[in-house]
């Protein structure tokens, strides 16, 4: 029987168990939407905990997850299917929202803001710290959730959970340190004060490649500074966000302070949040193209925005470096999440004297990488997120080969594992006009380019509209400083392949966005500066 027929039969049986009938399914986008008949049957305790995705499920039992609004899951008139990229199996059926969903979540956040902003910073810090403790306690289950909906190796997913928790821990400590200034008045018996105040309802739109970390990196500073949040995770990976919201509730964060809405139509949610008059700020991580659209939509309400957009990171290897260290650093920078990160190197520049030796060592390292489902032991590279990602990677490699590049290893869909597994690939002699050097590939492809001198490679590295991250490997201290200063990017790793952590400011320049996430600067986007001039008069005699 066709799988759609099997799915319909399964839902019919489930509906009978719930003493309902007459349900239908309609196809939309990448999933299936459930009729209101089944939705109503799922109310009154039929919705599952998102953390259940991170444990073994009883055979044949489907999980249904609602929106998380005002401290509880809320059912929907329709649901869509979230699938595991490693095997195509259903992870969960998740509520598919609409304009009314956006309105309900924003209203809940707006109502909660009045009391949350007046909650003492120490109390907010304590609640965030409790949330951090719960995330760490549940890290393995949360990691399995990430692996199931995103595909990355389990060890890497658990590492992401720790990374996500670190932002909650950091901003818990920052909550009591949202300082202002006292400024001497220019004349008379006056005193000038500058205080920081929360904005109100903040919207967070997060991507699928780090479904937990990108959420907490936005939500934690917003909550620490007294704001409330409506989060919209990627339609591909919404379960992690719902699970984190459940833990926030368990930690004691009040209802309405942190809301999560899901849906299969990203443009509807983006536009709805961007243009909603009660949303005071929108933080977005994603492509530059979508970032431009959201900025335009936010203009109608003069809404504050924070944008972490696309990257095209250069990785520069000078001939005085330790080749093994450079290969290890490149692997760490490039291959996390199968090359699907915004800071991973897209252009690898190697100085001519070591070009062949570096290419050989890199090819050997890549050829021994273990590829497979993220739940398998020892796997280093998991599947790509969907077929569109596979198509893009293949198109980029084919374009480079047609322009004279040579594949050293890889360039094959590992169909024996599944349709979304792509063999890690090294391509040498890539011309600068190849798609690999002009577009963000978002896949496990390492393109090598040769250069002769420092001035040449800096000029090539900067010849792009992007400016998120850059990497330099050299033993020459003076060269390291010169390159770090001259590279047009928001972050530079010198002899380091992993550069992000909660204590450091993350963000780009040029069309890679603006604003900084993490660090002491991370609260800036979530607070207004208010100037108060106090006139206190002369002392009466």
DSSP summary character for residue 454: H
- Cα–Cα distance for residue pair 16/37, rounded to 1 Å: 11
Among candidate residues 156, 169, 308, 423, the one labeled active-site is 308
Any residues with CB less than 8 A from the CB of 165 and at least 6 apart, and which?
Answer: 132, 135, 136, 139, 216
The label of the residue with tokens 């900025």 reads 295
C-alpha separations of 442 from 236, 341, 438, 476 in Å: 16, 7, 12, 31
- Give the tokens for residue 140: 């393995």
C-alpha separations of 158 from 140, 161, 167, 231, 384 in Å: 6, 5, 15, 22, 18
Beta carbons within 10 angstroms of residue 135's beta carbon = 25
**Is the dihedral angle over the CA atoms 126, 128, 130, 133 positive or is it negative?**
negative
- Cα–Cα distance for residue pair 312/315, rounded to 1 Å: 10
Asked if 254 and 115 count as a contact pair (C-beta separation under 8 A), the reply is yes
Strand partners, 532: 193
Q: Does residue 56 have an active-site annotation? A: no
What is 359-370 written as a DSSP string? HHHHHHHHHT--
Q: Do β-strands 279-285 and 304-308 pair in parallel, antiparallel, or remain unpaired?
A: parallel
Helix/strand/coil for 202: strand
Which residues carry out catalysis?
308
């Amino acid at each position: 029987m066709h799988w759609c027929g099997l799915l319909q039969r399964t839902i019919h049986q489930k509906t009978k168990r719930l003493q309902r009938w007459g349900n239908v399914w309609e196809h939309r986008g990448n999933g299936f939407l459930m009729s209101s008949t089944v939705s109503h049957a799922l109310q009154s305790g039929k919705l599952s905990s998102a953390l259940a995705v991170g444990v073994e499920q009883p055979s044949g039992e489907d999980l249904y997850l609602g929106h998380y609004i005002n401290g509880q899951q809320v059912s929907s008139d329709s649901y869509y299917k979230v699938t595991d990229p490693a095997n195509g199996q259903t992870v969960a059926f998740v509520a598919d929202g609409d304009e009314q969903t956006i309105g309900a979540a924003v209203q809940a956040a707006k109502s909660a803001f009045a009391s949350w902003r007046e909650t003492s910073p120490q109390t907010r810090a304590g609640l965030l710290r409790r949330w951090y403790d719960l995330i760490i306690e549940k890290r393995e289950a949360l990691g399995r959730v990430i692996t199931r909906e995103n595909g990355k190796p389990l060890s890497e997913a658990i590492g992401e959970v720790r990374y996500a928790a670190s932002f909650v821990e950091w901003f818990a400590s920052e909550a009591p340190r949202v300082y202002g200034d006292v400024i001497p008045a220019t004349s008379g018996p006056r005193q000038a004060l500058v205080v920081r105040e929360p904005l109100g309802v903040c919207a967070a739109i997060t991507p699928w490649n780090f479904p937990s970390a990108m959420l907490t990196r936005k939500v934690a500073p917003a909550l620490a500074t007294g704001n409330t949040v409506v989060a919209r995770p990627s339609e591909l990976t919404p379960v992690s966000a719902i699970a984190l919201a459940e833990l926030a509730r368990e930690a004691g964060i009040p209802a309405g302070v942190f809301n999560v809405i899901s849906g299969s139509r990203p443009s509807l949610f983006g536009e709805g949040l961007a243009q909603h008059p009660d949303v005071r700020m929108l933080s977005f991580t994603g492509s530059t193209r979508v970032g431009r659209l959201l900025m335009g939509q936010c203009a109608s309400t003069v809404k504050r925005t924070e944008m972490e957009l696309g990257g095209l990171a250069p990785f520069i290897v000078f001939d005085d470096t330790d080749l093994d260290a450079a290969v290890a650093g490149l692997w760490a920078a490039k291959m996390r999440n199968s090359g699907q990160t915004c800071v991973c190197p897209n252009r690898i520049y190697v100085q001519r004297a070591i070009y062949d030796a570096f290419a050989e060592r890199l090819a050997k390292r890549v050829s021994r990488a273990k590829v497979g489902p993220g739940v398998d032991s020892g796997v280093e590279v998991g599947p790509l997120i969907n077929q569109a990602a596979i198509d893009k990677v293949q198109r980029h490699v084919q374009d480079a080969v047609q322009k004279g590049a040579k594949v050293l290893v890889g360039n094959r869909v590992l169909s024996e594992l599944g349709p979304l597994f792509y063999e890690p690939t090294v391509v040498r002699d890539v011309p600068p006009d190849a798609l690999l050097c002009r577009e963000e590939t978002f896949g496990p492809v390492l393109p090598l380019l040769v250069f002769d001198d420092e001035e040449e490679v800096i000029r090539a590295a900067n010849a792009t509209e992007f400016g998120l991250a850059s990497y330099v490997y050299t033993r020459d201290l003076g060269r390291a400083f010169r390159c770090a200063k001259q590279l047009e990017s928001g972050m530079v790793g010198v002899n380091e392949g992993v550069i992000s952590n909660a204590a450091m400011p993350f963000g780009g320049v040029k069309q890679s966005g603006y604003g900084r996430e993490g660090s002491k600067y991370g609260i800036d986007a979530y607070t207004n500066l208010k100037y108060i001039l106090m006139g206190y008069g002369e002392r009466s005699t």
